[in-house]
Structure 1
Amino acid sequence: MKPAPFDYHAPATLDEAVALLTRLEDEGCDMKIIAGGQSLMPMLALRVARPEALVDLRRLDTLNYIRDDAGTLAIGAMTSKQAAADSALVKRAQPLFHAATELVGHRQIRNRGSVGGSFAHADPASEYPAVALVLDTEFEAVGPDGARTIPADEFFVTYMTTSLETTEVLTAVRFAPFAPQRRWAIQEFARRNGDLALAGVALTLNVDGGLCRDVRIAAFGVEATAVRLTAAEQLLEGQPAQAAQFEQAGKAGAAQLDDPMSCIHASSAYRRHLIGVLTTRALGEAAARTH
């Protein structure tokens, strides 16, 4: 299929992009921003999305960077996922985010898809929202009223919806320093390599004196957006980092889910089962990780 007709704009600067978005909003135009296009273009082709105008950010080279900012890892929104996957700085500073990026599609998709575009798309089956919740990621956006910073727990609202205003541009993603002793893991299940996950889990924890501390677990692919498995986190706090506890935490996390999504590929009950299994596996992987 072909997309429905739309007006195309490719602003050359961030200020020009914000001014254009503001004008289109004032005109009552239904618009969408395109970054890499690996998610939006199929939606346009299938006419799931039918915007009147498309605002392409591909010319905003100032949003394409990866850098250490006083210990904080800052990634420009227009940085490709493959650039993040190839970055030694990303792998060293944020190993969980790096591992999640390598799970995204295939190299060809990562070459075109942008880091910021994936976060802003907020697909519930994407690894990124769960990783953002676990790592307390912050999002920087610029709109007609200036710049603002949005914490991860306020950024993701519901299915493919964030708290970004229609006139705002996501400019950067920032990760706080990842402690060397922190352990991490990400586990997911997909029908084929490179497919969107039917369900997945990302987590971090400390193991201090054989006990679990500061456990953070988020599930993806099961609800309208990524969700923190607080029941599993609380059950593990201060408990031995052992298989029996991990299995109980997996069951608690699965039971916490209100009503997991259901589709032709996986029922609600199957997704709940997957979260229990994947949580148990991820906890075991993280606890066994050496630094």
Structure 2
Amino acid sequence: MIPSNFDYVAPATVSEAVAALAQGGEDAKVIAGGQTLMPVLRLRLAAPSVLVDLGKIEELRGVREDGDSLVIGAMTTYYALLRNSLISKHALLLAEATRTVADPQIRHRGTLGGNLAHADPAGDLAAPVLALDATMTIVGPSGARTVPASEFFVDYFTTALGPEEILTEIRIPKHTDWPAHYEKMHRVAQAWSIVAVAATVEVDQGTVAQARIALTNVAPTPTRARAVEEALIGQPASDELIRTAAEHAAEGIDPISDGNADAEYRSHLARVLTRRAVATAAGV
């Protein structure tokens, strides 16, 4: 199919982009990498009056250090994340999840900010960002504000972004040299996850010093597995410990049911995949 008619602007700065969104009103739409939006436009599931393309805003690209944090531009592609040494050293969990996203063509075009702003429950990068305690920088007509990842994801395909706001940066505290693993259950290669688990663990002299674990596509938003983390921290790393801790993976969560899996199966997958992800990350 062919998209419905729309105006197109490609601003060179964030302020120009925000102004274009404000001028376009409620029917304006932002396009980042376009890997989700373009098919939606072609099917006419979305019909924006104006499309604001962020592709020419260079300040939204790249990874830099800022003290104890990494700052990642929202327009940084998956491919750039995988090639960046700062990511592999200080936020390995994000790289591990990014490796599982679709195929090389998608990874060259898709962007971290676009993935997070789209807020698909099955999207692979929201859970690691949540696990790593990231903070989102959002810019709108009233200026910049910050939102922790724990408050950014609101519901299915819904975030804390206002209609005239743009996600500009993702700030991640450094988890330097923490081993990490992203365990994903999907029907076929390159498909969306049915359930996935993001886990990064710091083991000090055989004891779990710190653990960060989050679940993908178990609930309408990514979910932090706090009970698993609490069961692990301070205990000698062992297979028995991890098996016991993983039983808490779905604790406090009301799992979703859809055509891929019902709530009971998702709870089961959460426990199994958590055990695998934590065991791999902890080297057990």
Give the TM-score range, shorter chain: over 0.9
* Structure 2 counterparts to residues 135-214 of structure 1, below 5 A: 135-180=132-177, 182-214=178-210
Secondary structure, in 3 states, of the residue corresponding to 1:257? coil
* Structure 2 counterparts to residues 207-222 of structure 1, below 5 A: 207-222=203-218
C-alpha separation in 1, matches of 2:33 and 2:71: 19
Q: Which residue of 1 aligns with 2:281?
A: 286
Q: Which residue of 2 aligns with 1:57?
A: 54
Q: Which residue of 1 aligns with 2:10?
A: 10
AA partner of residue 13 (structure 1): T
C-alpha separation in 1, matches of 2:208 and 2:251: 21
The number of equivalent residue pairs is: 284
User: 1:74 Cα deviation (Å)?
Assistant: 1.7
Q: Report the TM-score, using the length of structure 2 for normalisation.
A: 0.93
Secondary structure, in 3 states, of the residue corresponding to 1:47? coil
Q: Is the 8 A contact 2:215 2:270 kept in 1?
A: yes
What is the root-mean-square deviation in Å for CA atoms of aligned residues? 1.8
* Structure 1: gaps (5+ residues): none
Moved more, 106-115 or 73-82: 73-82
Distance 1:269 1:47, change over 3 A: farther
* Aligned with 1:241 (options 230, 234, 237): 237
AA partner of residue 282 (structure 1): A
Distance 1:141 1:220, change over 3 A: same
Q: Is the 8 A contact 2:60 2:73 kept in 1?
A: yes
Secondary structure, in 3 states, of the residue corresponding to 1:37? coil
C-alpha separation in 1, matches of 2:234 and 2:56: 50
* Structure 2: gaps (5+ residues): none
**Aligned sequence identity (%):** 43
Q: Which residue of 2 aligns with 1:268?
A: 263
C-alpha separation in 1, matches of 2:50 and 2:127: 30
AA partner of residue 103 (structure 1): T
Does structure 1 residue 39 correspond to structure 2 residue 32? no
Q: Is the 8 A contact 2:183 2:277 kept in 1?
A: yes
User: 1:12 Cα deviation (Å)?
Assistant: 2.6
C-alpha separation in 2, matches of 1:87 and 1:106: 18
* Structure 2 counterparts to residues 96-115 of structure 1, below 5 A: 96-115=93-112
C-alpha separation in 2, matches of 1:179 and 1:9: 40
C-alpha separation in 2, matches of 1:43 and 1:250: 37
Q: Is the 8 A contact 1:35 1:114 kept in 2?
A: yes
C-alpha separation in 1, matches of 2:272 and 2:96: 19
C-alpha separation in 2, matches of 1:267 and 1:197: 14
